[in-house]
Amino acid sequence: MVSLLVWAGSAAAVGWLLLAGRGGAAVAAAPWLAAAALLVYLTQWQPRLIVGADGFDVVNGLRRHRIPFAAVDDVEVRYTVTVKAAGKRYVSWGAPTPPSAFGAGFEQARDWKERPFGMLPSNERMGQSPTPGGRDAIVRAWQDARQASGTGGSGWSSADRTVVSEWNVPMLALGLLLAGWCLVSVLF
């Protein structure tokens, strides 16, 4: 949602300047607004965690990591998903997160002051809705792959344990072009 607002705001700002007859200001602002839009795209829109049949794809900004299930040592699901594989940690920026307080059912506990003392909650959440299944599906996919190997994951060959990391070359090139455009707008 933030991405869409930044993109729409950037386009509206350049359009507004052009309609106001301030073409020079629009040309000066356009590279900076485009750079902000790219930054928001790389940090808010593009990051994702893909659970495939043979492993995880962790896409973060300018990097993509293909992690086969055979290479995974541990999966930690907290406020981000961290896949520990081949002696490294791969944190997914775009994986499902825990529900907020309102998503967990706290909006139903508005009338605590009117309740008798014996009905106040201790450590349990009152009216807690079930947690979304996205986080559980991540761990379940890894556990299912370990079970399918028949040996709890120790029977995979070393060729199956290779993590492939690669740069997002088109986004790097676009970022360099935008940096050059920003530099030109400052110098001229």
Instruction: Give the range among 47-51, 61-65, 92-96, 168-172 with minimum mean pLDDT.
Output: 92-96
What order of strands is seen across the sheet that includes strand 72-77? 72-77, 81-85, 88-92
Is a pLDDT exceeding 50 seen at residue 165? Answer: yes
List pLDDT tens digits, range 77-129.
Answer: 877 889 999 899 999 988 766 655 445 555 455 555 555 555 545 444 344 44
Residue 139 is predicted with a pLDDT of 77
Q: What are the φ and ψ backbone dihedral angles of 162, each rounded to 5 degrees?
A: -90, 125
Residues 11/3, Cβ–Cβ less than 8 Å: no
Whether the pLDDT of residue 28 is over 90: the answer is yes
CA gap 79, 125 in Å, rounded? 19
96 vs 54, higher pLDDT: 54
The mean pLDDT of 7-26, rounded to a whole number, is: 95
Of the candidates 78, 84, 44, 50, the residue with the CA atom closest to the CA atom of residue 64: 50
Tokens of 4: 């869409």
Please report which helix (H) or strand (E) contains residue 13, including its range: helix 2-19
* Mean predicted lDDT score pLDDT of the chain: 80
pLDDT value at residue 123: 41
Predicted TM-score of the model (pTM): 0.70
Averaged over 61-81, what is the pLDDT? 89
Give the per-residue pLDDT at 183: 96
